[in-house]
């Protein structure tokens, strides 16, 4: 055996070496305390780098986190070329989720000649996780060279090349392995073989050489096990090669397998070229297809998207009435996409109303009921709320044991902005069927919308695992990553925070003097305000933690998928994870969190401290002592009711909020969240603008406006107030230097020419208003609110009254629920 | 649409409450608890997948009975079908079910107790006759209700 190559400083004596190895062994068998004892003795005699590092790792495992890092750093400082130090540092940083550092030290260990090839595996997992594909190729290759006998390592290298966009190399690796094995597979290997060859085919397809991909598909089609994938790829390649006729045959074959896939029909039409032909041709095509697949849903639905006039009416009638007669609950939802075309709406109304009045009851009472339900949803959709309510009440009087009706009625009431009543109706529906998880969740959500958090928690807790001692399901909902609940919960706390804040203001106005009782009541109110604000932030942060967990959950798959031989699914997963932080729910949580941070920032700027410390101190009396203990008890109860994790020393989140005030910084902590979310979203750029304005990074906030304009075809109403804000800064802010000012104006003028001209402010504003605020949408209303509240000094009297009129017009046109949202819009 | 019967569970007792609410009768909370443990003496009637009616019966003891295991017969305390769903053979199925139970228990008399004008045709058709008010049947009700009787 050749001697091991070790660059690090070798331990002084054999005895100490043996002691270190013993400690290492104890660490591996998880006997951390024993190991630590040996190390402490060793460190006294000869403090080596390796021993420092190992002590750091042991302390980490014993949960002494702050001390742990200092020892890791000591080890590195003493000898950062030592392979053991490198390896241990890698393990430590991976454990604390600092993956960049982990990758650095793992690769350090490899570079310094560690003989432990498993490090390469750890390294490649970490590199995959931080998307260092260049490094990944190297580590995967090195591992394959060490262990070429396993297919997993070949697959792993191919995915690394693929992710690194080196398709040719990926193809080479997969082909080489296949050639090596030459068909010698056991039965158990056949699935993996099928997956890997389909993966190879996908890689060839991605290079754009579809002819070669097609040829390759011919080679594997007989034994590849994913028949649908083979046919779908084949049809795709044929279409892209312009061989439409052959492609159409494949799509017909696919339809035979699954006649309910709408996509196949549309693609079939593409290949037949019927989309550009007269409607009659398309109609005939679907009639013919309908004879082949009489039970297929798309065959009946797709013609509704292109037929017009009497043809449409006829087809719509047969489509919708057949569903109503069968009592299909989702009849309305099925045709809802067709409501986008305004001309269709009265047609549906006419068909269904006529049926409702003349025929429905004759078919069956249930058909009558479902038809009334349809009509209620129709009127809800077209925002004719009173009519909707009328129909749903008819249905409920008729069949009061049908749960769906209560869901619909609650929705209608929600749009009336009668949130509490809506929640109660939903709950009465829930009481009919207690094992229906759907309506349980709905009732919970409606309670949260009505800010009735206790009722909501009580309801959802019927479906959670409430461990011994748990008063409700909050902890379980966090363990089970119930994103919708946590988000809605956070938003409800935020609304309660605002409501309590308003209550406090009112109280302060009406309270005459600072007598004892007034101070006591005020203190409780102030505490509640802080609690609600903190709890709201706590929930939103819980969401970010869940998404971080989703992201780190991939870690195992970097090796698992290779062993299981599922590279196609692996690549899909990676792509999904790359878009993870653009998920609507994540973005929503960040927007919720952002509001709180921006509130804190405003408090700091306006001199309001955390927890209202300016309130007069209470004199020490019997009454105040009692009040204090009552309040402390109340706080305890809040903690028991709301704590999301078993071990959490900041259960409500007050420390988090307090730290924001202490650091005098509301927004800097937001930046890491902002950095993660998808920049192609409108709300991201609106948030970015606010953050960078506060940080006085005006060029970056200008960039956000440009992006917003690019994303919305320069139409988004919020661009108006943002532009005016930038203009205000460029003209008024004395703190920015002249060149920057010039650059800012230049940038503004480039994209929005009106700003470059010598227009007077008032003219400019009316230009901006005309351009961006012409549509009557709730968003326009919010943008107008922002201008009126914040940027009035720019606005001429006439424009101001124009804007006010416009706002009023929008507010009177929307339903009460949408109105409440406009009115709740907070300007920062 | 098919008609079928199904059991009561702690989770759908709300449906029974709804049906009682719509009728002219009123029962104590104990009655609802008892309904849940009635086994084959309680059934919901389903139209399609929607419960639209139900029947609840109980064994009837003679007032001075010493042997509790020998009832006089069964009495249907509650029979209800939502108005829109009457005459669709749901009430038939519900009655038929209780009649079968009666036979299985080797009993011979079945009373139906409730102001069931809407069901009188069905009851007559099925061989029930009006029995006036019978003392044993009235325990537990505020109003004295007329009863229908059927002998098997």
Could you read off the pLDDT of A420-465 as tens digits, one per residue?
Answer: 999 999 999 999 999 999 999 999 999 999 999 999 999 999 999 9
Determine the pLDDT at residue A11. Answer: 46
Subunit contact A398:B82, Cβ cutoff 8 A: yes
Contact (CB<8Å) A432/B14:
yes
Cα dihedral A313, A319, A320, A323 in deg (nearest 10): 170
> pTM for the complete prediction?
0.90
For B82, name the nearest residue in chain A, comparing CA atoms only.
A399
Q: Which residues of A touch B50 (CB under 8 A)?
A: 366, 399, 401-402
For the CA atoms of A804, A806, A808, A812, the dihedral, rounded to the nearest 10 degrees, stands at: 180
Per-residue pLDDT tens digits for A773-817: 999 999 999 999 999 998 888 788 888 999 999 999 999 999 999
pLDDT given for residue B137 in this prediction: 59
Looking at residue B47, which CATH number applies to its domain?
3.40.630.30
Q: Which of A368, A399, A435 sits opposite B82 (nearest CB)?
A: A399
Q: DSSP string covering A147-200, please?
A: -TT-HHHHHHHHHHHHHTT-HHHHHHHHHHHHHHHTT---GGGHHHHHHHHHHH
Q: Chain A to chain B, count of Cβ pairs less than 8 Å apart?
A: 50
Contact A156, A564 (CB under 8 A): no
Closest Cβ opposite residue A399 in set B9, B14, B52:
B52
CA distance linking residue A409 with residue A443, whole number of Å: 12
Q: Do A365 and B88 touch (CB under 8 A)?
A: yes
Q: How far is CA A293 from CA A257, A284, A289, A334, in A?
A: 11, 14, 6, 19
Residues 6+ apart with CB under 8 A from A271: A235, A239, A244, A245, A247, A248, A251
Q: Of B14, B84, B88, which is closest to A399 when you measure between CB atoms?
A: B84
Please name the residue of chain A whose CA is at the shortest distance from the CA of residue B1.
Answer: A364
Residue to mutate among B16, B47, B83, with most A CBs inside 10 A, is B47
Q: Tens of pLDDT along A185-225? A: 888 888 999 999 999 999 999 999 999 999 999 999 888 99
By C-alpha distance, which of A491, A548, A553, A497 is closest to A525?
A: A497
What does the pLDDT look like over A149-183, one tens digit per residue? 999 999 999 999 999 999 999 999 999 999 998 87
- A369 interaction partners in chain B (CB closer than 8 Å): 84
pLDDT in tens, A499-551: 999 999 999 888 877 788 888 888 899 999 999 999 999 999 999 999 999 99
Give the model's confidence band at A1: pLDDT under 50 very low, under 70 low, under 90 confident, else very high. Answer: very low
Q: Confidence band (pLDDT; 50, 70, 90) for B66?
A: low
Instruction: List the domain range (segments joined by +) for residue B35.
Output: 3-151
> What does the alpha-carbon distance between residue A424 and residue A420 come to, in Å, rounded to a whole number?
6
Do residue A365 and residue B48 have CB atoms under 8 angstroms apart?
no
Domain ranges in chain A are 1-116, 228-292, 464-678, 696-823
| Percent with pLDDT over 70 in chain A | 96
Q: How confident is the model at residue B60 (pLDDT cuts 50, 70, 90)?
A: confident
Question: Distance between CA A120 and CA A100 in Å, rounded?
Answer: 15
Contacts of B22 in chain A (CB under 8 A): 400
In DSSP notation, A206-228 reads: HTT-HHHHHHHHHHHTTT-S-HH
| A401·B15 Cβ contact <8 A | yes
Q: Are A642 and A528 in contact (CB under 8 A)?
A: no
A724: nearest Cα among A669, A768, A661, A679: A768
Q: What's the CA gap between B56 and B62, in Å, rounded?
A: 19
**What is the total count of domains within chain B?**
1
CA A262 to the chain's CA centroid: 27
Contact B11 A369 (CB under 8 A): no
Identify which has the larger pLDDT, A38 or A739.
Answer: A38
- Cβ pair A686, A679 in contact under 8 A: no
B54 → chain A, closest CA residue:
A401
ipTM above 0.90, yes or no: yes
- List, in sequence order, the alpha helices (H) in A735-827: 738-751, 761-772, 778-790, 797-813, 816-823
Q: How far is B48 from chain A (nearest CA, A)?
A: 8
Q: For residue A458, how far is the Cα from the chain centroid?
A: 27
Cα B132 from Cα B135, distance rounded (Å): 10
Average pLDDT over residues A258-276: 95
What's the burial of B119, exposed, middle or buried (CB within 10 Å: 0-12/13-18/19+)? buried
Mean per-residue pLDDT over chain A, rounded: 91
- Which of A365, A399, A439, A462 to mutate against chain B (most B CBs within 10 Å)? A365
- Cα A408 to the chain's mean position, in Å? 27
CB within 8 Å: A364 and B1: yes
Which residues of chain A neighbour B85 with C-beta distances below 8 Å? 365, 399
CA-to-CA distance for A327 and A554, rounded, in angstroms? 44
CATH: 1.10.287, 3.40.1710, 1.10.30, 1.25.40. Which one for A464-678?
Answer: 1.25.40
Is 3.40.50.300 the CATH number for A1-116?
no
CB-nearest to B50 from A368, A399, A435 is: A399
CB within 8 Å: A431 and B48: no
Measured between CA atoms, the residue of chain A closest to residue B10 is: A434
pLDDT value, residue B142: 45
Q: Which of A245-249, A532-536, B67-71 has the lowest average pLDDT?
A: B67-71
Q: State the residue for tokens 């079910």.
A: B97
Residue of A nearest to B47 (CA): A366
- CB-CB contact of B60 with B136 (8 Å): yes
Q: Looking at beta carbons, which pairs linking B98-101 to residues 24 or more positions away fall under 8 Å?
A: B98/B41, B98/B55, B98/B57, B98/B74, B99/B126, B99/B150, B99/B152, B101/B40, B101/B41, B101/B57, B101/B74
**pLDDT given for residue A3 in this prediction:** 42
Using a CB-CB cut-off of 8 Å, the residues of chain B touching A433 are 11-12, 14-15
For the residues of A484-524, what is the DSSP string, one character each? HHHHHHHHHHHHHHHHHHHHHHHHHHH--S--HHHHHHHHH
Q: What is the mean pLDDT of residues A704-709?
A: 92
Let me know how many helices (H) and strands (E) chain A has, helices first: 44, 0
Distance (Å) from the C-alpha of residue B8 to the closest C-alpha of chain A? 11
How far apart are the C-alpha atoms of B14 and A259, rounded to whole Å? 41
Q: How far A325 CA lies from chain B's nearest CA (Å)? A: 10
The per-residue pLDDT for A7 is 45
Cα–Cα distance, A117 to A108 (Å, whole number): 13
Judged by CB atoms closer than 8 Å, whether chains meet at A433 and B50 is answered as: no
Interface touch B12/A398, C-beta < 8 Å: no
DSSP classification of residue A130: T
CA-nearest of A759, A754, A688, A682 to A718 is: A682
From chain B, pick out residues whose CB is under 8 angstroms from the CB of A366: 1, 47-48, 50
**Inter-chain contact B14–A402, Cβ cutoff 8 Å?**
no
Largest separation between any pair of C-alpha atoms in chain B: 47
Q: Do A401 and B48 touch (CB under 8 A)?
A: no
Residues of B in contact with A368 (CB under 8 A): 84
Contact A101, A123 (CB under 8 A): no
Q: What pLDDT sits at residue A620?
A: 72
Residue of B nearest to A369 (CA): B84
Taking any CB pair shorter than 8 Å as contact, residues of chain B touching chain A are 1, 9-12, 14-15, 17-19, 22, 47-48, 50-52, 82, 84-85, 88
Set of chain A residues whose Cβ sits within 8 Å of the Cβ of B46 = none
A503 CB-near residues (< 8 Å, 6+ apart): A525
pLDDT for A120-152, tens place per residue? 999 999 999 999 999 999 999 999 999 999 999
**Separation of alpha carbons A11 and A628, rounded Å:** 62
pLDDT value at residue B13: 94
Those residues of chain A whose CB sits closer than 8 Å to some CB in chain B are: 327, 364-366, 368-369, 398-402, 431-435
* Model confidence pLDDT, tens digit, residues A48-107: 999 999 999 999 999 998 899 999 999 999 998 999 999 999 999 999 999 999 999 999
Mean pLDDT of A3-27: 70
Supply angle C-alpha B76, B80, B82, rounded to 5.
Answer: 170
Which among B15, B82, B84 is the nearest to A432, CB-wise? B15
The verdict on a CB contact (< 8 Å) between A434 and B12 is: yes
Tell me how crowded residue A302 is: count the other CB atoms within 10 A of its CB.
19
User: A401: which chain B residues are within 8 Å (Cβ-Cβ)?
Assistant: 15, 18-19, 50-52, 82
The tokens for A591 are 């927007």
Residue B142's SS3 state is coil
What is d(CA A496, CA A531) in angstroms, rounded to the nearest whole number?
10
**Residues of chain A positioned with their CB less than 8 A from the CB of B15:** 401, 432-433
Q: Which residue of A has its CA nearest to B44?
A: A401
Per-residue DSSP letter, A722: H
| pLDDT category of residue A759 using cuts at 50, 70 and 90 | low
The pLDDT of residue A577: 94
Confidence of residue B118 (pLDDT cuts 50, 70, 90): confident
Is it the case that residue B108 has pLDDT exceeding 90?
Answer: no
DSSP state at residue B116 = -
Nearest CA in chain A to B87: A365
Helix A297-306 with A309-326: angle, nearest 10 deg: 150
Q: Among all residues of chain A, which has the CA nearest to that of B16?
A: A432
Within 8 A of A398 by CB-CB distance, chain B residues are 82, 84
Please report which residue ranges of A278-364 form alpha helices under DSSP H. Answer: 279-292, 297-306, 309-326, 331-335, 344-358, 360-363
Residues A666 and A604: beta-carbon distance below 8 Å: yes
Question: Beta strand B129-132 with B73-81: parallel, antiparallel or unpaired?
Answer: unpaired
- A400 with B11: Cβ contact below 8 A: no
At A689, the pLDDT band (50, 70, 90 cuts) reads very high
Is the model's pLDDT at B67 over the cut of 70? no
Neighboring chain A residues of B82 at a CB cutoff of 8 Å: 398-401
CB contact under 8 A, A401 and B52: yes
CA separation, residue A805 to residues A86, A629, A764, A808 (Å): 68, 52, 20, 5
Chain B positions touching A364 (Cβ under 8 A) are 1, 47, 88
């Amino acid at each position: 055996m050749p001697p091991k190559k070790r660059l690090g400083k070798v331990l002084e004596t054999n005895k100490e070496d043996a002691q270190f190895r013993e400690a290492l062994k104890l660490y591996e068998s998880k006997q951390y305390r024993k190991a630590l004892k040996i190390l402490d003795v060793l460190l006294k005699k000869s403090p080596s780098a390796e021993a420092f590092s190992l002590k750091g790792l042991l302390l980490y495992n014993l949960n002494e986190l702050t001390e742990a890092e200092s020892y890791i750093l000591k080890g590195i400082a003493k000898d950062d070329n030592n392979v053991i130090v490198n390896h241990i540092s890698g393990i430590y940083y991976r454990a604390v989720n600092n993956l960049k550092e982990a990758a650095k030290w793992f690769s350090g260990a490899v570079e310094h000649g560690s003989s432990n090839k498993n490090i390469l595996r750890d390294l490649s997992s970490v590199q995959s996780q931080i998307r260092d594909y260049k490094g990944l190729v190297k580590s995967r290759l090195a591992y394959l060279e060490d262990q070429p006998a396993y297919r997993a390592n070949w697959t792993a290298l191919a995915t690394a090349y693929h992710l690194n966009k080196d398709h040719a190399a990926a193809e080479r690796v997969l082909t080489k392995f296949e050639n090596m094995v030459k068909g010698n597979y056991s039965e158990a290997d056949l699935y993996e073989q099928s997956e890997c060859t389909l993966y190879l085919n996908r890689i060839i397809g991605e290079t754009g050489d579809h002819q070669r991909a097609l040829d390759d598909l011919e080679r594997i089609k007989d034994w590849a096990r994913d028949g649908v994938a083979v046919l779908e790829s084949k049809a795709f390649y044929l279409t892209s090669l312009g061989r439409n006729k052959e492609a159409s045959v494949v799509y017909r074959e696919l339809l035979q397998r699954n006649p309910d896939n709408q996509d196949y029909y549309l693609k079939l039409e593409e290949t037949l070229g019927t989309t550009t032909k007269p409607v009659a041709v398309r109609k005939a095509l679907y009639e013919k297809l309908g004879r082949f697949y009489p039970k297929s849903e798309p065959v009946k639905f797709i013609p509704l998207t292109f037929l017009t006039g009497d043809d449409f009416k006829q087809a719509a009638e047969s489509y919708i009435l057949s569903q109503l007669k069968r009592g299909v609950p989702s009849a309305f939802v099925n045709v809802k996409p067709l409501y986008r075309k305004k001309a269709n709406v009265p047609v549906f109304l006419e068909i269904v109303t006529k049926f409702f009045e003349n025929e429905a009851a004759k078919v069956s009472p249930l058909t009558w009921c479902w038809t009334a339900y349809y009509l209620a949803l129709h009127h809800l959709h077209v925002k004719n709320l009173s009519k909707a309510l009328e129909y749903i009440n008819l249905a409920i009087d008729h069949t009061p044991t049908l749960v769906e009706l209560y869901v619909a009625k609650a929705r209608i009431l929600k749009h009336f902005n009668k949130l509490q009543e809506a929640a109660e109706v939903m709950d009465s529906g829930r009481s009919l069927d207690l094992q229906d998880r759907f309506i349980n969740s709905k009732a919970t959500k409606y309670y949260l919308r009505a800010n009735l958090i206790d009722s909501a928690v009580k309801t959802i807790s019927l479906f959670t695992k409430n461990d011994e001692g748990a008063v409700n399901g909050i902890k379980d909902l966090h363990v089970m990553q119930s994103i919708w609940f946590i988000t809605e919960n956070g938003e409800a706390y935020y609304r309660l925070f605002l409501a309590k804040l308003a209550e406090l203001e009112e109280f302060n106005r009406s309270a005459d003097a600072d007598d004892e009782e007034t101070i006591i009541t005020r203190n409780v109110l102030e505490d509640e305000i802080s609690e609600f604000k903190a709890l709201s932030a706590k929930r939103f942060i819980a969401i970010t933690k869940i998404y971080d967990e989703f992201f780190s959950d991939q870690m195992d798959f970097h090796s698992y998928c290779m062993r299981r031989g599922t590279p196609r699914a692996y690549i899909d997963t990676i792509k999904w994870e790359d878009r993870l932080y653009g998920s609507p729910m994540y973005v929503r949580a960040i927007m919720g969190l952002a509001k709180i941070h921006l509130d804190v920032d405003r408090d700091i700027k306006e001199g309001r401290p955390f927890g209202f410390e300016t309130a007069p101190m209470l004199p020490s009396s019997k009454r105040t002592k009692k009040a204090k203990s009552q309040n402390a008890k109340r706080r305890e109860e809040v903690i028991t009711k709301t704590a999301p994790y078993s071990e959490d020393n900041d259960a409500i989140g007050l420390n988090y909020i307090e730290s924001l005030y202490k650091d005098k910084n509301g927004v800097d902590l937001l930046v890491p969240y902002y950095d993660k979310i998808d920049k192609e979203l409108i709300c991201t750029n609106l948030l970015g603008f606010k953050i960078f304005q506060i940080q006085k990074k005006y060029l970056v906030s200008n960039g956000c406006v440009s992006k917003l304009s690019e994303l919305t075809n320069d139409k988004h109403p919020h661009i108006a107030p943002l532009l005016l804000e930038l203009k205000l800064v460029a003209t008024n802010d004395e703190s920015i230097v002249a060149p920057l000012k010039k650059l800012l104006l230049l940038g503004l003028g480039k994209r929005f020419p009106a700003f470059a001209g010598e227009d007077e402010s008032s003219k400019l504003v009316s230009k901006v208003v005309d351009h961006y605020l012409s549509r009557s949408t709730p968003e326009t209303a919010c943008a107008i609110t922002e201008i009126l509240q914040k940027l009035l000094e720019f606005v001429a009297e006439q424009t101001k009254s124009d804007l006010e009129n416009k706002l009023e017009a929008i507010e009177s046109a929307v339903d009460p629920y949408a109105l409440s949202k406009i009115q709740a819009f907070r300007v920062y | 649409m098919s008609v079928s019967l199904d059991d009561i569970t702690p989770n759908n007792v709300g449906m029974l409450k709804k049906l009682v609410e719509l009728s002219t009768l009123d029962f104590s909370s104990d009655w609802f608890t008892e309904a849940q443990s009635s086994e084959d003496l309680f059934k919901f009637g389903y139209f399609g997948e929607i419960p639209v009616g139900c029947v609840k019966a109980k064994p009837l003891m003679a007032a001075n009975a010493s042997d509790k295991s020998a009832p006089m017969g069964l009495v249907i305390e509650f029979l209800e079908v939502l108005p829109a769903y009457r005459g669709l053979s749901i009430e038939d199925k519900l009655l038929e079910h209780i009649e079968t139970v009666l036979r299985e228990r080797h009993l011979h008399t079945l009373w139906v107790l409730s102001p069931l004008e809407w069901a009188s045709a069905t009851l007559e058709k099925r061989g029930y006759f009006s029995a006036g008010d019978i003392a044993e049947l009235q325990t537990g009700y505020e109003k004295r209700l007329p009863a229908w009787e059927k002998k098997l």
